[in-house]
Amino acid sequence: MHAFDLDALLGDAGPLAAAIPGFRHRPQQVEMAGAILAAIEAQTVAVLEAGTGTGKTVAYLVPALLAGGKVIISTGTKNLQDQLFHRDIPAVRRALKAPVTAALLKGRANYVCHYHLERTLADGRLSSREDVRHLRRIASSHAATPSGDRAEFAGVPEGAAVWGHVTSTRENCLGQECPHHASCYVLAARRDALAADVVVVNHHLFFADIVLKDEGMAELLPACNTVILDEAHQLPETARMFFGATLASTQLMDLARDALSEGLANAREAADWPDLARALENASRDARLALPENPVRIALGQLARRDALDGALDRLGERLADLGRALEANAARAEGLEAVWHRAQALRTLLDAWRGGAEAHADGLPDAAPAVAPAVAAAPPVRWVEVFGHSFQLHTTPMSIAPLFRAQIEAERRAWILTSATLAVRSDFSLYLGELGLDAVEGARALAWPSPFDYASQALLYVPRDMPDALAPEFTARVVDEAVALIAAANRPGPAGTFLLFTTLRGMNRAHELLADLLPRQGLDLPLLLQGQGSRTELLERFRQLGNAVLVASQSFWEGVDVKGDALKLVVIDKLPFAPPDDPVLAARIEAMKRQGRNAFMEYQLPRAAIALKQGAGRLIRDETDRGVLVICDTRLTDKPYGRRLWQALPPMRRTRERAEALSFLEAAAPDAGASNTIPPHQAKGQA
């Protein structure tokens, strides 16, 4: 047992209170920290829902830093990784005087690759002058960047196309054959992670490594005593992605580009590299033309032009084989050629597996955890296609990832902590536990703590009367009309910000068009922001700084967004966030549940919608002094029998159907500032 007093550490007179301005004792935080400590000591699984304001980051960092042993913390995004590493861990470590070391580990695509930077500089083939400027900036400053982390190159946008030319992937990394192996940033980050007491990763990296054993986690996990998975509501979807398999046309185009570059550089006379590369590119484009014209997600069995696709994929396989043979014949000439040959082999295997022609991958899944393969045999994976404007992806997704994830949990004894503000529906964890197979893990505990915020006085839930049906053509226009009246009221006491969150991109874009016209006509000179106009980080920073902006967004802003004060006083949600029933994996799961005589809507779709709605609603109140209105324009919330289950899953806000009450609430003055158990941004300067 560990001899430290959590009540004292997290109390009003404790070291956290002395180090963090506004920190105060919260019983929920102490209880959560105690549950985590108990799981660490017993090496068991704890699934913990902590309402907004509980201070869950501090609640898991205190026992994790003091209990000893190696800890891996995985969170939802790279931005949250950076926040944990640069702000939260240093603050708690200083307060506790804990002698622990920490490391930040990201996927290889987040680090500049010396080899690919060198090749791109020599090759000189970039698509725009802007890319050339960005390349020069990277080349001139990367030597002065100790980690090579893309996040440290402030002058090069996160989404700049040049990053794809100067970073490596699992497929094109030369490994020990690379001439820059000794100075590789990726290997340096892995070495730091192996030596550190606490390693901060993100969910994509965590699952990529579990499945692919590629990014260093294969070495980290065996030595780890505790795994903490923050933002754990994202795990089922992320796990589905990585326990499945995907072949993207962009991978084929990249292969053609790299084969051409390596072939011309190392075996120019050995093959007609331009012709081979062009043939693969054309075959990939032909496969796209054999798919539906508009962007869509569709199951293989629902494709109307199946014969045309089969023929196109036959030709694609042939061109891939042609290129593969030329690469194989010359692979010994250079490490780069050999690496491209292996990529061609891997993509051909993926293509054959998706088409059902490779016995080694007959289930369509990667070679991870073969011991659990029989458990999923009864529920065959779903083969489906995702079509974009000029590209496509061929997916194989397991119907259930429960046996696969449970196998990871049970592979070796250690503590697993899964935490989020939204894992349960009114403290019922059955959906979440079932999706991850945790309901069958011995000793697993699920606990929930409500938010300490006073929602009854801080927030109002408003469902407008007389809204049209959510599927009606005029619905989005009515949502915008309702929002504009409320935006005006929110800004009357002083500047105030608004989120308009939509369940579809079509609704989002239509609302933005309408608002661009309607706000000026109503005399509302307010900044109007749209998801996609910049990275999420850039948009959020602008939104906070402006203080009175209207941000129109879709799924990207439903979660992981923290805006305190009047900078976000109004959140408008257009529809209940039911997953689209034509989603191929969801449709297959619903059909399977129906065959079992189960009610898929009540058991699966409704709880998922409730958890997603909690996420969207959670954007509004982020602090004890926040005050605002949540508007849900979908009257199914009040008119349908199942609506009660949805609004009861939300925080206990006051509820109204009257616009006048919502306007009055928005126009009222906010209370004075108070205390908070979160680590303020001004403490972000400490280094981990």
pLDDT band at 45 (very low <50, low <70, confident <90, very high): very high
Note the pLDDT tens digit of each residue in 410-468: 988 999 999 999 999 999 999 999 999 999 999 999 999 999 999 999 999 999 998 99
Between 34-48, 78-92, 453-467, 501-515, the lowest mean confidence (pLDDT) is in 78-92
Higher-scoring residue by pLDDT: 300, 32: 32
Q: Is the pLDDT assigned to residue 673 strictly greater than 60?
A: no
Burial of 639 (0-12, 13-18, 19+ CB in 10 A): exposed
pLDDT, residue 241, reads: 86
pLDDT, residue 219, reads: 65
pLDDT, residue 367, reads: 38
Note the pLDDT tens digit of each residue in 336-394: 899 899 999 999 999 999 998 433 333 333 333 333 333 333 478 999 999 999 999 99
Higher-scoring residue by pLDDT: 441, 213: 441
Outline where DSSP puts E strands in 581-652.
628-632
pLDDT, residue 212, reads: 65
Contacts by residues 681-685 (CB-CB < 8 Å, ≥ 24 positions apart)? 681/87, 683/20, 683/87, 683/90, 683/91, 684/83, 684/86, 684/87
pLDDT, residue 136, reads: 87
Q: Is the pLDDT assigned to residue 679 strictly greater than 80?
A: no
Give kind and range of the element (H or E) at residue 419.
strand 415-420
Spatial separation of the C-alpha atoms in residues 487 and 86, rounded to whole Å: 36
pLDDT, residue 652, reads: 94
pLDDT band at 310 (very low <50, low <70, confident <90, very high): very high
Contacts of 596 by beta carbon, 8 Å cutoff, 6+ apart: none
Q: Which of 198, 58, 55, 59 is closest to 46 using CA atoms?
A: 59
pLDDT band at 222 (very low <50, low <70, confident <90, very high): low
Query: Which residue's structure tokens are 């709605």?
Result: 613
Q: At what angle do helices 114-123 and 249-266 cross, to 10 degrees?
A: 70
Q: Which of 645, 660, 618, 639 is closest to 459 using CA atoms?
A: 618
